[in-house]
């Protein structure tokens, strides 16, 4: 990278994560939609079925909707007990075999197929040597972990059984703040606990740190350790999320859930290949504001940018999909894979919805001109 570029980058506060991060410009006018096609055909490749629950009929009016919703989903909510064997290396100091200690853990999950498919959190079953699944009716099964994805905290467990109760899966795409949010799980070892609140916010990509690949659902329904992996449901008795994270605050707490649409997509990948796939394009981005744009334009000869909100590419990883696709420093990302993006997290999510090895159209603004590029994502490097 040229010295001028390095001096420019040093002036900008650091970025969002590694791999692909960005935002786009807000207020994209109709001219963008006229000049660039936004409605891209989706892949028609067959995907594994992750739910065989029946379509949920409307609940009967005049009754407590929370009670009805819990009656519908509750029988399919399970307790997950895990045992992890841990070797204590200090045992070698005394000339004997390292003693093996057992660590017990507990979480929640819910059945999505009557033949024994269960969704839960990856952190609930991570590293477990034994997994036990217990239904509310007392039946217990040995669980087999099909796979888990640490980036989204989604895991899939299977038990050998049939005709199990199934939690109907809803649609998390159209959730609105203020809707009912009901959590069912096993907090603090208290089985089949129900709490209720509302959806406080959606698309919380900074809920548990920057650069997240999950647009979390935020709720004020009480969630505690042991709720992890359990369902967040709506007043129609449909699962809309997987409870996964808690943020404590003086006098209150916030809880977050993985949207069920994202969980289904990750689960399909786990069932098909044993792991989730996350596309990587190799850019580092900075959220652009009018004030920051003024400072850049006043102090840099290398980069002149519009004075508005957007996503500024400040570095392109050498020999990455982005560099091979023609993305350059100082580009503003407008559209990713047919989706207009408004901030770096939206770029992250839009890229993650793509597929490794499948060409991805990206529209950028460069020196006041619209530039249409094609980037072919690679698999995100996995931490060892």
Annotated catalytic residue: which of 123, 200, 203, 220?
123
Annotated catalytic residue: which of 108, 228, 277, 300?
228
In the annotation, is 153 catalytic? yes
CA-to-CA dists, residue 331 to 180, 243, 279, 304, angstroms: 41, 37, 20, 10
- Is residue 127 within 8 Å of 73, Cβ to Cβ? no
Count helices and strands in the chain by DSSP H and E runs: 8, 21
In the annotation, is 278 catalytic? no
- Among residues 340, 336, 365, 338, the alpha carbon closest in space to that of 351 is found at 336
Annotated catalytic residue: which of 149, 153, 343, 352?
153
Longest pairwise C-alpha distance within the chain:
76
In the annotation, is 331 catalytic? no
DSSP-derived secondary structure for 51-106: --PPPPPPPPTTS-HHHHHHHHHGGGEEEEEEEEEEE-GGGGGGTSPPPEEEEEEE
Nearest-5° angle of CA 122, CA 124, CA 128?
Answer: 95
**H/E run at residue 372:** strand 369-375
Which residues are known catalytic residues?
123, 153, 228
């Amino acid at each position: 990278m040229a010295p001028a570029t390095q001096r420019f980058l040093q002036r900008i506060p650091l970025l969002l994560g590694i791999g692909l991060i960005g935002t786009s410009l807000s207020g994209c006018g109709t001219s963008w939609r006229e000049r660039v096609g936004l409605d891209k055909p989706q892949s028609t490749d067959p995907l594994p079925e992750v739910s065989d629950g029946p379509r949920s009929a409307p609940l009967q009016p005049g009754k407590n909707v929370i009670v009805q919703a819990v009656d519908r989903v509750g029988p399919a909510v399970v307790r997950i007990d895990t045992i992890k064997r841990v070797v204590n290396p200090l045992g070698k100091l005394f000339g004997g075999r390292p003693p093996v200690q057992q660590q017990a853990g507990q979480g929640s999950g819910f059945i999505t197929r009557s033949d024994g498919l269960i969704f839960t959190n990856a952190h609930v079953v991570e590293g477990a040597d034994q997994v036990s699944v217990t239904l509310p009716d007392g039946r217990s099964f040995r669980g087999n972990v099909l796979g888990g994805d640490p980036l989204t905290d989604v895991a899939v467990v299977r038990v050998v059984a049939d005709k199990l109760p199934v939690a109907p899966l809803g649609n998390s795409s159209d959730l609105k703040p203020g809707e009912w949010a009901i959590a069912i799980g096993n907090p603090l070892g208290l089985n089949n606990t129900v709490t209720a609140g509302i959806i406080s916010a959606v698309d919380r990509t900074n809920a548990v740190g920057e650069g997240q690949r999950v647009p979390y659902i935020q709720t004020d329904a009480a969630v505690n350790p042991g709720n992890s992996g359990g369902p967040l449901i709506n007043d129609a008795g449909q699962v809309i999320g997987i409870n996964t994270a808690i943020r404590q605050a003086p006098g209150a707490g916030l809880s977050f859930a993985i949207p069920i649409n994202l969980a289904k997509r990750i689960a399909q990948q786990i069932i098909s290949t044993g792991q989730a796939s996350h596309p990587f394009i190799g850019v580092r981005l900075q959220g652009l504001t009018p004030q920051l744009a003024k400072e850049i334009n006043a102090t840099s000869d290398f980069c002149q940018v519009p004075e508005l909100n957007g996503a500024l590419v400040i570095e392109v990883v050498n020999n990455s999909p982005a560099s091979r696709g023609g993305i350059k420093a100082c580009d503003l990302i407008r559209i990713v894979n047919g989706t207009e993006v408004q901030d770096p997290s939206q770029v992250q999510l839009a890229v993650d919805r793509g597929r490794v090895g499948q060409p991805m159209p990206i529209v950028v603004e460069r020196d006041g001109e619209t530039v249409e590029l094609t980037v072919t994502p690679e698999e995100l490097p996995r931490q060892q």
